[in-house]
């Protein structure tokens, strides 16, 4: 039996970096440590952080006099000032790709451009980016949002890092029809696309495919969908306790992939258990 782990699976660069900063801080621990919102959407990883005494808060006030970790999604600019006033030490784990979007929004807003963000208005990353241009951006999620925009002579458009290229292209087409000067910054991060391609590559060549990730994680569900398309014998699990050994019986090639918020130790655990056929 041979196990193939998708080359691009599990944490993306930004999430990995945020988690490392958090574990390092927990180890050094000088003050109480909080994260601004849950660091990642993975039950097991959050439990591990809680065991280390790292808690999540949804407002600056609760982290007074403590350490506050900014997750990869980033935060509005104003939160940094608020934290300073409350004597909070910030550990900034904003993904550098997200920081780039925030800086573009700020730069062009300051130059007099009206900023448009293509993305989900309720997503923390988008709320954060908007906070770098005085909460003054238009946020549109789909083509129909374009009609609500009041066009100004100078417009600048950026993307939430996880939107699809199809969405970007289609909205840009609509905006270009009406805009005068339109500065376009395609800030989509390729991590999601690359993960999906890796999943399809593996699923095409194996007898069974295991997709690991939270049941509520939308990117894991998407990977499962892709996997199922190319390998009927696919299953979605959260941890190694759920490996369906009956399903793997007689399979010579087994593929494994994992959602963007699945820690490496969970992936390794699944691989090890399959290699040992359920034993430790
Ligand atoms: Fe991950 Fe940063 Fe891209 S958090 S999805 S590497 S923008």
| 36 located within any domain | yes
Burial of 125-134, coded b for 16+ CB within 10 Å and e otherwise, reads: bbbbbbbbbe
Nearest CA to ligand 1 atom 3: 189
For residue 16, which phi and psi values (nearest 5 degrees)?
A: -60, -45
Residue 127 to residue 138: CA distance in whole angstroms: 11
The domain boundary, picked from 47, 74, 95, lies at: 95
Residue 213, domain extent:
2-10+191-275
Alpha helical stretches, state H, the chain: 13-28, 43-51, 77-85, 96-110, 124-130, 165-178, 191-203, 218-230, 245-248, 264-275
The domain boundary, picked from 40, 73, 95, lies at: 95
pTM above threshold 0.90: no
Of the residues 8, 9, 11, 13, which should be mutated to test ligand 1's pocket, given the most ligand atoms within 8 Å of the CB?
Answer: 13
Our count of domains for the chain comes to: 3
Q: In what order do the strands lie in the sheet with 253-258?
A: 2-5, 253-258, 208-212, 234-237
| 257 located within any domain | yes
Would you write out the chain's pLDDT as a tens digit for each of its 280 residues? Answer: 999 999 999 999 999 999 999 999 999 888 899 999 999 878 888 899 999 999 999 999 999 999 999 999 999 999 999 999 999 999 999 999 999 999 999 999 999 999 999 999 999 999 999 999 999 999 999 999 999 999 999 999 999 998 888 899 999 999 999 989 999 999 999 898 899 999 999 999 999 999 999 887 778 888 999 999 999 999 999 999 999 999 999 999 999 999 988 999 999 999 999 999 766 5
| 122 located within any domain | yes
| 280 located within any domain | no
Whether residues 218 and 139 share a domain: the answer is: no
Whether residues 180 and 144 share a domain: the answer is: yes
């Amino acid at each position: 039996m041979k196990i193939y782990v998708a080359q691009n699976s599990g944490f993306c660069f930004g999430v990995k970096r945020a988690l490392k900063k958090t574990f390092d801080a927990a180890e050094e621990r000088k003050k109480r440590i909080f994260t601004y919102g849950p660091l990642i959407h993975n039950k097991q990883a959050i439990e591990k952080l809680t065991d280390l005494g790292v808690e999540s808060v949804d407002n600056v006030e609760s982290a007074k006099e403590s350490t506050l970790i900014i997750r990869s999604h980033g935060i509005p600019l104003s939160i940094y000032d608020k934290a300073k006033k409350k004597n909070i030490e910030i550990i900034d784990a904003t993904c550098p790709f997200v920081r780039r979007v925030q800086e573009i929004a700020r730069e062009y807003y300051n130059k007099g451009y009206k900023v448009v963000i293509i993305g989900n208005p309720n997503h923390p990353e988008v709320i954060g980016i908007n906070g770098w241009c005085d909460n003054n951006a238009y946020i549109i999620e789909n083509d129909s949002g374009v009609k609500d925009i009041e066009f100004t002579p100078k417009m600048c458009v950026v993307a939430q890092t996880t939107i699809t290229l199809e969405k970007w292209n289609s909205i840009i087409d609509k905006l270009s029809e009406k805009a005068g000067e339109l500065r376009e910054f395609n800030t989509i991060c390729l991590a999601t696309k690359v993960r999906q391609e890796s999943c399809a590559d593996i699923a095409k060549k194996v007898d069974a495919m295991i997709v690991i990730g939270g049941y509520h994680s939308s990117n894991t569900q998407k990977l499962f969908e892709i996997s199922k398309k190319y390998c009927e014998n696919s299953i979605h699990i959260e941890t190694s306790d759920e490996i369906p050994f009956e399903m793997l019986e007689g399979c010579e090639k087994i593929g494994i992939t994992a959602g963007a918020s699945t820690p490496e130790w969970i992936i390794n655990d699944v691989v090890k258990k399959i290699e040992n056929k359920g034993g430790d």
